[in-house]
C-alpha cells in the first residue's frame, strides 16, 4: 500500500529552489556529470508537479547561473541539450497542466534555437494558471539588479521616472519577478548553506531550508519536510513580539 505523507499546516505561497548537487551525485557513483544533470532534470519535473499539487502558487528554480559558464564545455553542452529536450517536452507538458512558464535572466548567450523555443513557450502560457513557474537561466541576483538599475536610469533620462520618487516598490517593478511575491522559503539541497547569487533582493525576508540530500535524490518527502519546517517558523520581518 502506498504511504501517504502528512501535509504541513501551512503551505508557502512562493518558493525558491536552488537545484544543487547533480555533479556530486554522479561523481559518487562513478558516472559522468551529464548523467547527474539528466537525473536532476527528472527530479525538477516531479518537484514542479508536487509544488503545484500542494498549492504553491509561485515557484522559482535556479537552473543555470551566470557563473556556470565557467564549467567545462562538455558539461555546458550537456546542460544545453537537456534544456532543448525539456523545452520540447516537459515545459510543454507544464503548459498543458495549467502551469505558466517564465524564464528569468539573460538568455541571449544561448543558441538561437533554444532562444526561439523559449519565446514560443512564453507566448503560449495559460491565461489563469494554477502555478507560475520561473526558470532562472543565465541568472544572477547581482546581474538582475544591474539590469533593473539600467532600466530605471533609462526611464529617468526619458522623463518617465523621477529619481526622487524611487523606493523599494519601484525597484521591485523593474526586477524579472515584477508583480510576484517574494519567496516565503528558499530550499537548497546538497549541504551548501548559501544563496550563491540567487534572488538577492527578493530573499530579504525569506526563510531558508538547507539539507544534505543531493538534488537528484530530492523527493516529495524532502519537499514536505521543508514545508513542515517552514510552517513552524515565526516570521517577524524584523519586528519583535
Give me the pLDDT at residue 238, please: 66
Give me the pLDDT at residue 38, please: 93
Q: Is residue 2's pLDDT more than 80?
A: no
Average pLDDT (179-199) is 97
The proportion of the chain whose per-residue pLDDT surpasses 90, expressed as a percent, equals 83
From the list 20, 182, 184, 222, the catalytic residue is: 20
The CATH homologous superfamily of the domain defined by 14-140+182-228: Decaprenyl diphosphate synthase-like (3.40.1180.10)
**Mean pLDDT, the chain, whole residue set:** 93
| Active-site residue, 96 included | no
C-alpha distance from residue 56 to each of 10, 89, 99, 225 (Å): 10, 22, 11, 15
C-alpha distance from residue 66 to each of 39, 70, 166, 208 (Å): 22, 9, 27, 22
From the list 46, 53, 68, 222, the catalytic residue is: 68
Give me the pLDDT at residue 241, please: 56
Of all helices (H) and strands (E), which one includes residue 135?
Answer: strand 131-139
Cβ atoms of 21 and 190 closer than 8 Å? yes
For 145-157, the pLDDT digits (tens) are 999 999 999 999 9
| Active-site residue, 68 included | yes
Count CB atoms within 10 A of the CB of residue 83: 22
Q: Is residue 240's pLDDT more than 70?
A: no
For 28-39, the pLDDT digits (tens) are 999 999 999 999
Nearest to 20 by CA among 190, 241, 213: 190
Sheet bearing 185-188, strands edge to edge = 99-104, 131-139, 58-65, 14-18, 185-188, 207-210
Q: Where are the domains of the chain?
A: 14-140+182-228
Amino acid at each position: 500500500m502506498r504511504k501517504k505523507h502528512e501535509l504541513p499546516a501551512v503551505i508557502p505561497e512562493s518558493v525558491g529552489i536552488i537545484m544543487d548537487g547533480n555533479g556530486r551525485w554522479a561523481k559518487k557513483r562513478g558516472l559522468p556529470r551529464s548523467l547527474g544533470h539528466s537525473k536532476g532534470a527528472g527530479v525538477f519535473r516531479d518537484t514542479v508537479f508536487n509544488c503545484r499539487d500542494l498549492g504553491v502558487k509561485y515557484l522559482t528554480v535556479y537552473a543555470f547561473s551566470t557563473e556556470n559558464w565557467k564549467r567545462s564545455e562538455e558539461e555546458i553542452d550537456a546542460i544545453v541539450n537537456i534544456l532543448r529536450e525539456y523545452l520540447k517536452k516537459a515545459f510543454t507538458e507544464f503548459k498543458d497542466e495549467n502551469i505558466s512558464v517564465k524564464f528569468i535572466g539573460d538568455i541571449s548567450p544561448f543558441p538561437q534555437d533554444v532562444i526561439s523555443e523559449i519565446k514560443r513557450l512564453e507566448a503560449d502560457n495559460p491565461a489563469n494558471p494554477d502555478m507560475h513557474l520561473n526558470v532562472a537561466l543565465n541568472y544572477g541576483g547581482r546581474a538582475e539588479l544591474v539590469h533593473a538599475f539600467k532600466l530605471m536610469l533609462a526611464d529617468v533620462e526619458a522623463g518617465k521616472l523621477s529619481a526622487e520618487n524611487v523606493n523599494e516598490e519601484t525597484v521591485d517593478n523593474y526586477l524579472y519577478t515584477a508583480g510576484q511575491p517574494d519567496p516565503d522559503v528558499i530550499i537548497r539541497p546538497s549541504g551548501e548553506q548559501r544563496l550563491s547569487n540567487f534572488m538577492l533582493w527578493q530573499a530579504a525576508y525569506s526563510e531558508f531550508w538547507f539539507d544534505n540530500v543531493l538534488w537528484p535524490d530530492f523527493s516529495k518527502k524532502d519537499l514536505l519536510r521543508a514545508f513542515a519546517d517552514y510552517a513552524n517558523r515565526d516570521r517577524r520581518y524584523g519586528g519583535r513580539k
